[in-house]
Amino acid sequence: MSSSFFSGLDLLATPVILVDDELRIAHANPAAEDLFAFSLKNVLGQPLVQLFIDAGEVIAGLNDALGHNWSYAGRELTLTRPGQASLHLNCLITPTETSAARFLIEFRPMDQQLKLAREQRQMDQQQANRELIRNLAHEIRNPLGGLRGSAQLLERELERPELREYTQVIIKEADRLQALMDRLLTPHRPPQVAPLNIHEVLERVRSLVLAEFPDGIRIERDYDASLPDLYGDKEQLIQAVLNIVRNAAQALNGKGVIEFRTRAARQVTLAKQRYKLALELQVVDNGPGIPEELRERIFYPLVSGRDGGSGLGLTLSQTFVQYHHGTIECDSRPGRTCFTIMLPLE
């Protein structure tokens, strides 16, 4: 009984320590071993108080919980193992139902909470931006049709043909805006999912990009062939990856190396959801890197550092990846730019 209880805890990504009535370590899961840099073997049976040089608050919480047999939540604690950097954590102490231990202590590193809060804020912000832009695009599209139509009518009535130059400017610019609005408005199709292999997607992107940039760009592949199929919308995923790889090829200015790398990732949190297994896909290029002033904003619509760029490529990639409950991140410095897409495999 107790061993299956323990092995259940061992699967958790949350660091957990169990203590007995005397506040000695009864168990610690691998996440706790990682976090506190000890091995269960060495600490089993030791008083919790000896593990840290500043366990006072946790011990007080435990005594409180012990006295009343209730839960205790400690916020913004500092815990320090001898000779190591201090950790800032929240903890939750709960009485257990098993005979194997008296209390279960869950730890939540604050950095992680700050990161989650930041990600959430970014997601909300992006969602709001997207809606604003869609509404705006919608509002611009209608009068645009009227403008273009009127310019055409006017053109027919013009008696001096040299004036057509002006109506042509109106018509061409209206068309250009129209095309931009269409791109802003398209991607709201829910994905049509079917089992697919990520490497089919990558091979497709590879041949498209090599056809577009026939000289000077090399695409290297480092695939984990044992990756299982994922459920996804092939067209959307091709588009998502293509936009990233095309950017890389453009940044390389026709000369350089792009690497595709796939791996399995275990126990990951994507958009607040926990997955046992996910796919990690990286696109790495050895180009000049993303200009520093753009780095924070490249996923926003209409942000571009390229002449003639509309700044929608990465917005679309992100939208499609989010449709698949995945995440997309970028890390860039001169000589190495890496886009990482994570997609759940369940």
Ligand X SMILES: Nc1ncnc2c1ncn2[C@@H]1O[C@H](COP(=O)(O)OP(=O)(O)OP(=O)(O)O)[C@@H](O)[C@H]1O
Contacting residue, 313, 317, 324, 344, with Mg ion by CB under 5 A: 313
**Alpha-carbon gap, residue 37 to 268, rounded angstroms:** 20
Please list, residue by residue across 106-120, b when 16 or more beta carbons sit within 10 angstroms of its beta carbon and e when fewer do.
bbbeeeeeeeeeebe
Residue 290, interface with ligand X (CB under 6 A)?
yes
Contacting residue, 298, 328, 343, 345, with ligand X by CB under 6 A: 298
Contacting residue, 33, 106, 233, 285, with ligand X by CB under 6 A: 285
Query: With CB under 6 A, what is the number of residues at the site for ligand X?
Result: 22
- The letter for the amino acid at 84 is Q
Locate 7 and state its tokens: 């092995």
Residue 247, interface with Mg ion (CB under 5 A)?
yes
Contacting residue, 74, 232, 256, 313, with ligand X by CB under 6 A: 313
- Edge-to-edge, what's the strand order for the sheet holding 87-95? 25-28, 16-19, 103-109, 87-95, 72-79
Residue range at the interface with ligand X (CB under 6 A); choices 66-74, 200-208, 213-221, 299-307: 299-307
Residue with tokens 């320590």: 17
CB of 209 to Mg ion, least distance (A): 12
Residue list 317-346, contact with ligand X (CB under 6 A): 337
Strand pairing class (16-19; 103-109)? antiparallel
- The letter for the amino acid at 82 is P
Residue 306, binding choice from ligand X, Mg ion, none, Cβ under 5 to 8 Å by partner class: ligand X
Q: Of 262, 256, 204, 251, which is closest to residue 228 (Cα–Cα)?
A: 262
**Alpha-carbon gap, residue 300 to 31, rounded angstroms:** 35
Q: Of 237, 232, 340, 324, which is closest to residue 273 (Cα–Cα)?
A: 324
Residue 286, interface with Mg ion (CB under 5 A)?
no
Residue 285, binding choice from ligand X, Mg ion, none, Cβ under 5 to 8 Å by partner class: ligand X
Query: With CB under 5 A, what is the number of residues at the site for Mg ion?
Result: 2
CB of 247 to Mg ion, least distance (A): 4
Residue 312, interface with ligand X (CB under 6 A)?
yes
Residue closer to ligand X by CB (options 2, 250) is 250
Q: What is the DSSP letter of 14?
A: S
Total Cβ atoms within 10 A of residue 153: 10
Residue 317, interface with Mg ion (CB under 5 A)?
no
Locate 150 and state its tokens: 């009127």
Contacting residue, 15, 61, 287, 326, with ligand X by CB under 6 A: 287
CB of 142 to ligand X, least distance (A): 23
Contacting residue, 2, 53, 311, 322, with ligand X by CB under 6 A: 311
**Alpha-carbon gap, residue 91 to 104, rounded angstroms:** 10
Residue range at the interface with ligand X (CB under 6 A); choices 10-18, 102-110, 203-211, 247-255: 247-255
Locate 85 and state its tokens: 């950097």
Residues that bind Mg ion (CB under 5 A): 247, 313
Residues that bind ligand X (CB under 6 A): 243, 247-248, 251, 285, 287, 289-290, 294, 298, 303-306, 309-315, 337
